[in-house]
C-alpha cells in the first residue's frame, strides 16, 4: 500500500475537538486478522490485526466495551508524548467519525497534516465499539510511528460518550511485536500470585535498593510459571525489579537495604528467576514449550526480591501466572560474567583492571 493522503470532510464534534468525518462503504480489502491480544487485564479492550509485508499494509481491529469514543496509538515511551494516534466512534444518529493524529503531551491529539490511516469500518452494538483501519507498515510522514519486527508500545484510551474528554483510568498500554508475534497458549487451569512491596516508603535519597527474602506460596506438586508481569503503580519511577532464588543455606525471611547489614553478602541469592527493567514490556511469556518450575520439591526454597527505586511510596513487584499443566521443558535464566559483590573491587586510581571468569560447557546440550 503506497502512502497517500486521504481527503476527508472535517467537522466539529464539539467546540474544541475537530475530527474527520466520513461515510463508510464496504471495503474491497478484507484481510485476515489472525492475531489477537487483550490490551487490558479485564478483557474490555481487545486488538486483532494482520499484515501483508510484500504489499506493505497492516490492518487493525480495535474492540472496546464502550459506546463512546475509542483511541489507539503507538508511543515511544508508553504515554501520550510523541504518540501516533487514531480516534474514532459512532454517534447517536449512526454517523461515524475518525481521526489520524499525533500527540505532543497530555492534551487532545492534533490532526495529522497528511492522513495515512485508512478507516475500513466503525460499528457500535451490544455496548461495544469496533474500529477497523489500516495503514502502511512503513511510516509515511514524521508523525507516523515506525512498525518493525521489534516490540512497540501500543496505547489505548476510551470514553463513555462521544465527547473527547480526559480518559481518567480508561487508558492503558501493552508492548507487542506486531510483525513477529508469538501467540500465547491459553491454559484452562491457571492461577497467579504476586510478590510485591506494598506501600513501601523510600528514604529521601536519589536512588535506593531494597530487598525482601521470602518464600513463594506453597504448592503440593510441581507447577510451571508461563508468564510474568510487572506490578508497578508508576512505571516511570521504578528502575528495575529482580527476583532471585536462594540456596538451601537461606532458611528464613527478612528484609532490608540491599548490599548492607544482613544483606551485605547476597551470593547465596543470585540465581535469577525473573527480571524487569526500564523499557521492559508489560508481559514476559516463557517459550511455548517451557515453564519456570515452582512448587513440589522447591516449596522450601527462599527467594530474594530486589527493587531499585527512584520515587516515594508505592506498590511494586511481579505477578506470576502458573499452571499445573506442565510443559515439555523447565525454563531458567542463564547468567554469565562475574558476580557483583563486596569482594569485587577495582583498586583506586587504577589505570587498567582486568577480570577473568571461566564457564564449563561440558553439561550444555
At 345, the pLDDT band (50, 70, 90 cuts) reads confident
Q: Is residue 255 domain-shared with residue 311, that is, in the same domain?
A: yes
How far apart, in whole angstroms, are the C-alpha atoms of residue 287 and residue 200?
33
Residue-wise pLDDT for 162-173, tens only, equals 988 766 678 888
pTM: 0.54
Average pLDDT over residues 182-187: 66
Domain membership of residue 342 (yes or no) is no
Residue 8 pLDDT grade (very low, low, confident, very high; cuts 50, 70, 90): very low
Range among 13-22, 27-36, 295-304 with highest mean pLDDT value: 295-304
Residues 251, 294 within the same domain:
yes
153 and 69 assigned to the same domain: yes
Cα distances (Å, whole numbers) of residue 332 to 165, 185, 200, 240, 295: 45, 19, 29, 19, 15
pLDDT tens digits for 103-147?
887 777 888 888 899 999 999 999 999 999 999 999 888 889 999
Q: Please give the Cα distance from 145 to 82 (Å, whole number).
A: 9
pLDDT of residue 359 exceeding 50, the answer is yes
Query: How confident is the model at residue 196, as a pLDDT?
Result: 83
Contact 163, 13 (CB under 8 A): yes
CA–CA dist 190, 67 (Å, integer) = 32
Sorted by sequence, the CB contacts under 8 Å of residue 242 that are 6+ apart come out as 272, 274, 275, 304, 305, 306, 307
Kindly state whether residues 196 and 319 are assigned to the same domain: yes
Q: Within a 13 Å sphere around the CA of 284, how many CA atoms are in the beta-carbon half?
A: 20
Mean residue pLDDT of the chain comes to 81
> Considering its fold, how many domains does the chain have in total?
2
Same domain? 120 vs 259: no
Same domain, 215 and 115: no
358 within a domain of the structure (yes/no): no
Domain for residue 161, yes or no? Answer: yes
Whether residues 87 and 150 share a domain: the answer is yes
pLDDT at 223: 94
pLDDT value, residue 20? 39
Quick one: average pLDDT of 269-292? Answer: 80
- What would the pLDDT profile of 218-250 be if each residue is shown by its tens digit? 999 999 998 888 887 766 667 889 999 998 888
For residues 109 and 222, state if they share a domain: no
User: 324: pLDDT confidence band, cut at 50, 70 and 90?
Assistant: very high
127 and 21, same domain (yes or no):
yes
Within this chain, do residues 98 and 228 fall inside the same structural domain, yes or no?
Answer: no
pLDDT tens-digit map of 60-91: 999 999 999 999 999 988 888 889 999 999 99
- Joined together, the cell numbers standing for residue 350 give 587504577
Beta-carbon-side half-sphere exposure of residue 126 (alpha carbons within 13 Å): 3
Domain that holds residue 267: 191-330
Task: Judge if 237 and 200 occupy the same domain.
Answer: yes
Are 102 and 85 in contact, with CB atoms under 8 Å apart?
yes
Amino acid at each position: 500500500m503506497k502512502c497517500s493522503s486521504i481527503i476527508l470532510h472535517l467537522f466539529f464534534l464539539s467546540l474544541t475537538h475537530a475530527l474527520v468525518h466520513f461515510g463508510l462503504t464496504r471495503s474491497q480489502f478484507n484481510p485476515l486478522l489472525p492475531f489477537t491480544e487483550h490490551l487490558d487485564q479485564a478483557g474490555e479492550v481487545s486488538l486483532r490485526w494482520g499484515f501483508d509485508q510484500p504489499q506493505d499494509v497492516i490492518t487493525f481491529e480495535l474492540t472496546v466495551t464502550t459506546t463512546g469514543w475509542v483511541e489507539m496509538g503507538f508511543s515511544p515511551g508508553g504515554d501520550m508524548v510523541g504518540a501516533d494516534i487514531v480516534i474514532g466512534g459512532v454517534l447517536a444518529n449512526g454517523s461515524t467519525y475518525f481521526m489520524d493524529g499525533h500527540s505532543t503531551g497530555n492534551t487532545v491529539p492534533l490532526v495529522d497534516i497528511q492522513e495515512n490511516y485508512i478507516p475500513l469500518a466503525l460499528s457500535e452494538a451490544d455496548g461495544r465499539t469496533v474500529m477497523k483501519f489500516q495503514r502502511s507498515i512503513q511510516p509515511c510522514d514524521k508523525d507516523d510511528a515506525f512498525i518493525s519486527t521489534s516490540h512497540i508500545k501500543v496505547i489505548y484510551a476510551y470514553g463513555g460518550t462521544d465527547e473527547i474528554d480526559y480518559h481518567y483510568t480508561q487508558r492503558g498500554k501493552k508492548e507487542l511485536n506486531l510483525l513477529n508475534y508469538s501467540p500465547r497458549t491459553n491454559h484452562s487451569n491457571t492461577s497467579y500470585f504476586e510478590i510485591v512491596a506494598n506501600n513501601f516508603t523510600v528514604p529521601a535519597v536519589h536512588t535506593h535498593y531494597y530487598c525482601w527474602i521470602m518464600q513463594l506460596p506453597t504448592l503440593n506438586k510441581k507447577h510451571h510459571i508461563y508468564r510474568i508481569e510487572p506490578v508497578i503503580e508508576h512505571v516511570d519511577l521504578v528502575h528495575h525489579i529482580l527476583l532471585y532464588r536462594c540456596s538451601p543455606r537461606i532458611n528464613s525471611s527478612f528484609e532490608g537495604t540491599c548490599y548492607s547489614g544482613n544483606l551485605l553478602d547476597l551470593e547465596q541469592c543470585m540465581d535469577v528467576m525473573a527480571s524487569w527493567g526500564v523499557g521492559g514490556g508489560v508481559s514476559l511469556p516463557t517459550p511455548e514449550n517451557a515453564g519456570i518450575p515452582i512448587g513440589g520439591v522447591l516449596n522450601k526454597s527462599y527467594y530474594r526480591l530486589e527493587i531499585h527505586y527512584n520515587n516515594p511510596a508505592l506498590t511494586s513487584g511481579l505477578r506470576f501466572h502458573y499452571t499445573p499443566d506442565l510443559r515439555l521443558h523447565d525454563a531458567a535464566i542463564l547468567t554469565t560474567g562475574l558476580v557483583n559483590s563486596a569482594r569485587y573491587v577495582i583498586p583506586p586510581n587504577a589505570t587498567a583492571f582486568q577480570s577473568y571468569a571461566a564457564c564449563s560447557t561440558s553439561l550444555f546440550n
